[in-house]
Amino acid sequence: MQTSSQPLPQLKRGAKDYQKPRSGDVIDQRFQIVGRPLGKGGMGTVYRVMDANGAEFAIKRLDPALREEKRFEKRFRLEYEAAADLKHPNITGYLDLFEAHGALHILMELVEGVNLRQLMKDQKVFPVGIAVGIGRALARALEHLHAHRVVHRDLKPENILLGLDGTIKLTDFGISRVEYAGITRTGTLLGTPRYMSPEQLAGKKGEEIGPESDIYSLGILMYELLTGKDPYRLRKKAEILEVINIRHNLTPRPLPNEIDEDLRKLIMMMLERDAQKRPSDARWIGQELGRWAESRKELKLSLCQYLERYGGAKGPARPMLAPKRKEDPLFRSEDATEVQGEELQHFEEPTGGRELLPAFLLALSCLLILWGFGLWSKRPGAKEHIPQSHKASVVGSPPPMRVAVQPAPQTLPSVRPGQAPSPVLKKSKRRRARQRKKLSAHKRRSRKNRRKRNKRRRRRRRGKRR
C-alpha cells in the first residue's frame, strides 16, 4: 500500500463521476464495493471494499461536489496526513490516499463491529471496571496522538469503534489539528457541542486548543459511561447557544457516592472549566485509571459478551460479489460455469405446499360461515319457518301438534275460597306490610327534613336583607 502524501494530479470530472457508487462497483481497478455504506459523515461516505485477494478494507470517499470548495479537500488531505503515521492498537490505521473517478479516497483498516454510541443505547450504565477500561484504552490512544503533535478535537462515542473481538479503536480525524498545519480560524466551531471543551466553545484559534481539550471530552465520555447521563443534563439535541450558556453558568453534577472517591475526584478534575487546572498528560490519566480498570483480557471478554447480539466472531471470508455496472477483468471468476436455459427448465423451486394455501383458506372460511349460520338459527328466540310450497305439497297430513307450555310451579301454595291462609303466606304479607310502613316513614321524614331546610334558608335570606 502506498503511504505517500504527495499531491495527486487533478483529473477532469464529468457527469458520470458524480454518481454515487453502489455494491459491486470497482474503484481504481483495485477494490470492489461490498454491500451498503458503513456510514456517512459531514464530508464523505465510508464503504466496505474487497481486493482481488479477498482482503476487506474500509474506504472513505469525499463527496465530489465538496471538492469545488478547496477547504474541504484540504481538510480531507490533512485528515490522512494526521493519521497516516499513527500506528497504535487503539487507533484505526490509515493506509492510502488516492484519487479515482473524480473523487478523493482514503483506504482504512476495517473494524468489524459497532461504535460505542450503539452499545450505549442498549447498555445505559456500564460497570466501573468496564467503563474505566474503555477510558484507559482511549487515554493510551490520546497519548500516542499527543506525542505526534495531533489533537483529535472530536472525541465522542460515534468515533469510537468496538470490534467483535473486543478491540477498541479511535477513528475519524476529520477535524483534528496538526501543530504544523492548522487551518482553523478564530470564531469557527468544529466538533460536536455536547463533547466540546469550553475553549472550543469560545471559538479560539486552533493553536490555542491543546491536549487539554481531548482530556475534557474524555471526562464527559467517562461520566456518561458510569452514570448514563450528561454531567450538565443536556438534551441529546441541544443547540450550540444552549450548550455555551450551561457550560459557563453551571458546574457539572457530582458523581454517585457508590463510585470510589478518588475516581470521582479524577473525573471532576478532567471536567474543570479552566484548561490550566485540567490535566494535560494523557499518559498520567491512563496510569491513574488503571487502578480501577479491568485487565485487558477481562475487558476483551466483557466486550465480546456485550457485542454477541451484533454478530459474534468473524466467520470465513465471503465470496466476491459480481460487479453490477462495471466489468473489470481483475474481478472475473475463471471457474464460473454458465447454465443454459434448457437446463434451468429441469430445476423447479420447491414450493412446500404454498399453492394449496389459498384453497385451504377458502374452505376454512366456508366452514366457519356455515357453523355461524347454524348457531344463529338455533338461538333461543328463533322461529322455525316452513315454506308455503312445502305445506301445499303435503296433502292429508295431520296438523302439527301443539304442546302447551306448563306454567312454573308457584313457590307459595294457592288459597281456595273459604280456606284459611297458610302460615307461609301470612309471613310474606306481614313482611311486605312492614316494608311499606318503613318506606312511608322514610318519605315522611324526608318531607319533614325538606321543610326544615327550606325554613332555615328563608331565615338566612331575611337576615341578609336586613
Give me the active site residues, please.
Answer: 154
Strand (E) positions, 36-102?
39-40, 44-50, 56-62, 94-100
CA 123 – CA 101 distance, rounded (Å): 42
3-class SS of residue 308: helix
Q: Which three cell numbers stand for residue 167?
A: 478491540
Among left, alpha and beta (phi > 0; psi -120 to 50; other), residue 36 is beta
CA distances from 3 to 60, 77, 84, 251 (A): 15, 12, 7, 45
Residue 231 DSSP SS3: coil
Residues 6+ apart with CB under 8 A from 265: none
Distance of CA 117 to the CA centre of its chain: 10
Task: Find the radius of gyration of the CA atoms of the chain.
Answer: 42
Give residues with Cβ within 8 angstroms of 391, minimum separation 6: none
Q: How many CB atoms lie within 10 A of CB 40?
A: 11
**Cα separation of 120 and 83, whole Å?**
26
Answer yes or no: are the C-beta atoms of 109 and 93 closer than 8 Å: yes
Residues 6+ apart with CB under 8 A from 428: 412
CA distance 438 to 421: 25
Query: Which candidate, 315, 330, 317, places its Cα nearest to that of 32?
Result: 330
What's the gap between Cα 376 and its chain centre?
50
User: Measured between alpha carbons, how far is 385 from 301 in angstroms, rounded to an integer?
Assistant: 79
8-state DSSP, 66: G
50 neighbors 34 (Cβ within 8 angstroms): yes
CA distance 448 to 13: 104
Helices then strands (H, E): number in the chain? Answer: 13, 12
